[in-house]
Amino acid sequence: MKRHNATSRPSWLLFHALAVFAFLYLPIAVLVLYSFNGEGVGGFPPHHLTLDWYRTLFADGPIWDAVLNSLYVALAAVVIALGFGVPAALALERAQFPGKALFRRLVLLPLILPGIITGLSLLMLFNVFGIKLSLLTIVLGHGTALISVATTEVFAGLQKLDRAQEEASLDLGANYWQTFWRITVPNLKLPMIGAALLIFTLSMDEIAVSFFLIGRDNTLPLEIWGRLRRGITPEINAVSTIIFLFSLLAIVFWYRLRVRGEAPAEAEVEVVTALEGGVA
């Protein structure tokens, strides 16, 4: 349905929208452009366009070690967050237990809480129990903080789910375990993939929690952080440009999946609205 007459559109709204888009994309454009700039970062106009920074990047061992560490952390975080987030969503939708309201708030808290608070409180926990900081402690931090994403996504999916299917499965003699794997999980495929993509990306990019839980091995954002403090080179632009391209691929992939799926889920909106206590 047309909501307004197109001719009644105030032109300042269009200009404002264009300006906001320019503001949002300016740093990204600068980033990509200057990854090809032979003269280093900054300086206008850019000259001596070159691929040198990409060559430097591909020969840079520590960066690739950090990329591998980040991939490991992100994958492990997806497993933990889904492993606990999916049952948590089922519990919130289907079970009554004492402390449920507190549980719901606690699960969602890390997404809205500044990362420093979650990071430091976990640091104190590991310190009290004498656990050495390593990639594993980062995995625990990311996995725990991102349960919130899995729970909100899957909870939204559950509310659209037709319970009759599960009921039929149970009536026809399947046990809960079989019903879970053959009915519940296939029906939640889309929210689970959406959650996994979002958790993966958030973990790859996470720095505030990792900042306090880092051991000897750096994740990519912390490696970049260390280099930024020493001085800036277009090599950082080059690695960021590559990550940006991968993020774009993930978005396109997710978008196509959603278009194919019956019910389009607005992953980001659901997370954002759930944060405000909208869940359950």
Partner 1 sequence: MFSRGYKAAVTLPPLLWVTAFLLTPYLLMFCYSFWSVSPAQIIVHSWNLSNYGELARVDVYWQTLLRSMWIAARVTIFSLLLGYPLAYFLSFYGGKKKDLLYQLVIIPLWVSYLVRAYAWKTILGSDGVLNTLLQYVHVTKHPLEFLLYSPFAVVLTLTHIYTPFAFLPIYAALEHIPHNLVEASHDLGASPGQTFWKIIFPLSIPGVVAGATFAFVLSLGDFLAPLLLGGPSGIMISNIVVSLFGAAYNWPLGAAISFCMLLLVVSLLFLSERLEKKWSYA
- Residue with smaller CB distance to partner 1, 94 or 216: 94
| Contact set for partner 1, span 193-212 (CB under 8 A) | 201, 204-205, 207-208, 211-212
Taking CB under 8 A as the criterion, the residue among 101, 131, 162, 176 binding partner 1 is 176
245 binds partner 1 (CB under 8 A): no
What is the C-alpha separation between 250 and 260, in angstroms, rounded?
15
| CB-facing half-sphere around the CA of 235: CA atoms within 13 A | 18
What is the C-alpha separation between 148 and 271, in angstroms, rounded?
8
266 binds partner 1 (CB under 8 A): yes
Nearest alpha-carbon partner for 239 in 39, 22, 59: 59
Tokens at 39, concatenated? 């003269």
272 binds partner 1 (CB under 8 A): yes
The DSSP code sequence of 131-160 is PPPSHHHHHHHHHHHTHHHHHHHHHHHHHH
233 binds partner 1 (CB under 8 A): no
242 binds partner 1 (CB under 8 A): no
Taking CB under 8 A as the criterion, the residue among 61, 97, 173, 230 binding partner 1 is 97
Tokens at 56, concatenated? 């430097």
44 binds partner 1 (CB under 8 A): yes
Taking CB under 8 A as the criterion, the residue among 74, 76, 115, 199 binding partner 1 is 115
Taking CB under 8 A as the criterion, the residue among 50, 56, 134, 273 binding partner 1 is 273
- Quickly count: other Cβ atoms within 10 Å of residue 95's Cβ: 9
95 binds partner 1 (CB under 8 A): yes
172 binds partner 1 (CB under 8 A): no
What is the C-alpha separation between 192 and 18, in angstroms, rounded?
34
